[in-house]
Structure 1
Amino acid sequence: MVRKQDPDRNSKNKDTGKVKEIDKTTTSTGSSKVEKPTEDVDTGKADQLEEDPFEPLVEQLESLRSLLIKSAVTFVLWFLIVFATVRWWFPVVSMGADMVVFGPFEVIRFYIRTSAAMSLGLSIPFICWFLWQYVSSGMIEKKNPQLLKGSMGFMFGLFLVGIAFGYFVVHPLSYFFLIQMGERNFDVLVTADEYMSFLLITTIPFGLIFQLPLIVLFLNHIEVLDSTLMKKSRKFAYFGLLVLTAIIAPPDFFTHIITLLPMIGLYEFSIILVRRKEKRADKKKEPEA
């Protein structure tokens, strides 16, 4: 017997086949729709990386602008303080020396110039601190910020010690030595402007020179300098300090010795600080090993 095909059943099969095909197309299109956003996200990230090649440079420029602004504000504040209190510090600065001025305009010019010079000297520790923050932001690890945190007081203290050494030791010896040398053959007349220039030359450089231990610690921290290298190059360092002393101090042997001895002491003190720092670092590495 031959079975007859049911037309309704064939139509149902065709309908189910069409439904299956539609499901396949929808699933395939749905998967493509789902995959497209991921591709867009990846391409978006790539575009962002390609669009910002100068982002580090922009950040550096912003940090540099912040450094300049903070330095300028510090200088202006010190200038206003010094200029407003000029009658208080002037007798201390003059140290009883006989000075003259030529005309009223020289008075105001002297006060402005002297206030600016003293403000710059007082601003140097803060400017060095801002500069150190700018430079060391990419050099000093965030896990070891003790050197950066404790350096401000150490820096300012060394600067004050250097200024005091120049003011109480180098300046009187140099000034009176040159005055006595001039009085042998000339009638010496010292203007206020010249006296203040000489005072700044014999004080501010020592405030900077006394930053040597801090500079050495920083160079050691970034692994540029160590105690062994400093010991080996001791002779060359002494010679450099001797040349620097000859530039700063007046040309007499006694003042040279007085100026050179603390510089040599600073160098040896820097070696001791670096050596102690290296020993601490070695002790920390032993438990890890």
Structure 2
Amino acid sequence: MNTELMPPEHDEPEHEAGSVMAFWDHVEELRWVLIKSLVAFFLSFCLVLAGAVWFSDVLQWPLVQAYEMMGQSGQDIQLRTDGPNNVFAFLIQLGFFGSIALALPFMLYFMIQFVAPGLTSKEKRILRPVFLSIIGLFFAGLLTAFFLLVPFYLYMSLKFEAMFHFASFWTPVKYYGIVVWTSLGLGLLFQSPLVIILLIYLDIVSAEQLRKSRRYAMFIILVIAALLTPGGDPFTLAITAGPLYALYESAVFIGSLLRKKKVAAEEIEWEDDIR
């Protein structure tokens, strides 16, 4: 038998070994992404706890605004604990959620660094605007909740308490839970335009279909807003649903423009290939 025509016996095992090594290289890179993300979270947690008094005062701003809308701006506002463990639960809550907000940009950056090497140059060009859009929309939703939704909800709560002659007894855990969960929840919901734009851009769904489905979209938005709204009253529901619906319409419009631009570019490339 002519052995010169036969491939070396070690070629296939080397190829398999190379694939295995490439796989474990990716696993190692992913491990470092997780490590760096945890470090960013831990440092943010320490920073929040170090400035816990300052962060606590800042997060009381919606409550101060609610009392001012009630005409009680000079009142001494105090949150009351209902047990010795309440303050420790508050510190854990403040540190955890505060760390998520502070470390999120770094976590996204580390993840983009991990994904970028596998993308084409054209795909890499959109990473920066996508990254900035995610961060911008998240903080836009967070600030909308903090400066608009939560103060108005607290004002309505105080208004009804006064109407029924109830005395306020708000614990730090419950108050900060409302502020944090509502703010972070709306920040995450503000990411929905990016999903809609991506679906239109990839031609998974058309802008025309989404325009025809406005009634269903509005119903879904109202359901989500009802789940997110702390008290579920129609006033705060409208404040929550309004910006979400505006984002929906904006996303459909932007997605339609980007889809048309992509189709036009593909047609130009196709004509160039024919020539």
Give the TM-score band, short-chain normalised.
Answer: 0.7 to 0.9
Aligned counterpart for 2:207 among listed residues 227, 234, 243: 227
Using the alignment, how far apart are the partners of 2:226 and 2:211 within structure 1? 23
Aligned counterpart for 2:53 among listed residues 84, 87, 111: 87
Q: CA deviation at 1:98?
A: 2.7
Amino acid corresponding to residue 240 of structure 1 in structure 2: I
Q: What do you get for the CA RMSD once the two structures are aligned?
A: 2.9
Q: CA deviation at 1:150?
A: 1.9
- The normalised TM-score by structure 1 is 0.75
Indicate how the Cα distance of structure 1 residues 188 and 265 shifts in structure 2: closer, same or farther if over 3 A, else same.
same
Indicate how the Cα distance of structure 1 residues 136 and 193 shifts in structure 2: closer, same or farther if over 3 A, else same.
same
State the structure with more CA Rg: 1
Amino acid corresponding to residue 208 of structure 2 in structure 1: T
1:255 is matched with which residue?
236
Aligned counterpart for 1:278 among listed residues 259, 265, 268: 259
3-state secondary structure, aligned to 2:33:
helix
The question of whether the paired residues in 2 share the 8 Å contact of 1:174 and 1:255 is answered with yes
The question of whether the paired residues in 2 share the 8 Å contact of 1:125 and 1:159 is answered with no
Q: CA deviation at 1:197?
A: 0.7
The count of corresponding residues between Structure 1 and Structure 2 is: 253
Q: CA deviation at 1:172?
A: 0.9
Aligned counterpart for 1:65 among listed residues 6, 27, 31: 31
The question of whether the paired residues in 1 share the 8 Å contact of 2:200 and 2:256 is answered with no
Using the alignment, how far apart are the partners of 1:70 and 1:220 within structure 2? 34
The question of whether the paired residues in 2 share the 8 Å contact of 1:74 and 1:126 is answered with yes
Indicate how the Cα distance of structure 1 residues 103 and 239 shifts in structure 2: closer, same or farther if over 3 A, else same.
closer
Q: Is residue 244 of structure 1 aligned with residue 224 of structure 2?
A: yes
Q: Which fold has the larger relative contact order, with Cα–Cα distance below 8 Å and residues 6 or more apart in sequence? A: 2
The question of whether the paired residues in 2 share the 8 Å contact of 1:238 and 1:264 is answered with yes
Indicate how the Cα distance of structure 1 residues 244 and 192 shifts in structure 2: closer, same or farther if over 3 A, else same.
same
1:209 is matched with which residue?
189
Q: Is residue 172 of structure 1 aligned with residue 155 of structure 2?
A: no
The percent of aligned pairs where both chains have the same amino acid is 27
Q: CA deviation at 1:176?
A: 2.3
Using the alignment, how far apart are the partners of 2:82 and 2:30 within structure 1? 42
Partner deviation per Cα, 1:237-285 (whole Å, 9 max, x = no partner): 2211110011111222122112111100000111121112112213322
Indicate how the Cα distance of structure 1 residues 282 and 217 shifts in structure 2: closer, same or farther if over 3 A, else same.
same
3-state secondary structure, aligned to 2:126:
helix
1:29 is matched with which residue?
none
The question of whether the paired residues in 2 share the 8 Å contact of 1:246 and 1:256 is answered with yes
Using the alignment, how far apart are the partners of 1:133 and 1:228 within structure 2? 35
Instruction: Structure 2: give runs of 5+ residues left out of the alignment.
Output: 65-76
3-state secondary structure, aligned to 2:122:
coil
Aligned pairs for 1:16-27 (under 5 A) are none
Q: CA deviation at 1:83?
A: 1.6
Aligned pairs for 1:15-54 (under 5 A) are 36=4, 39-41=6-8, 43-51=9-17, 54=20
Q: CA deviation at 1:56?
A: 6.2
Using the alignment, how far apart are the partners of 1:212 and 1:221 within structure 2? 14
Amino acid corresponding to residue 179 of structure 1 in structure 2: L
2:135 is matched with which residue?
156
Partner deviation per Cα, 1:73-122 (whole Å, 9 max, x = no partner): 22112112222222333222112343123566543442232122111133
Amino acid corresponding to residue 189 of structure 1 in structure 2: F
Q: CA deviation at 1:69?
A: 1.9
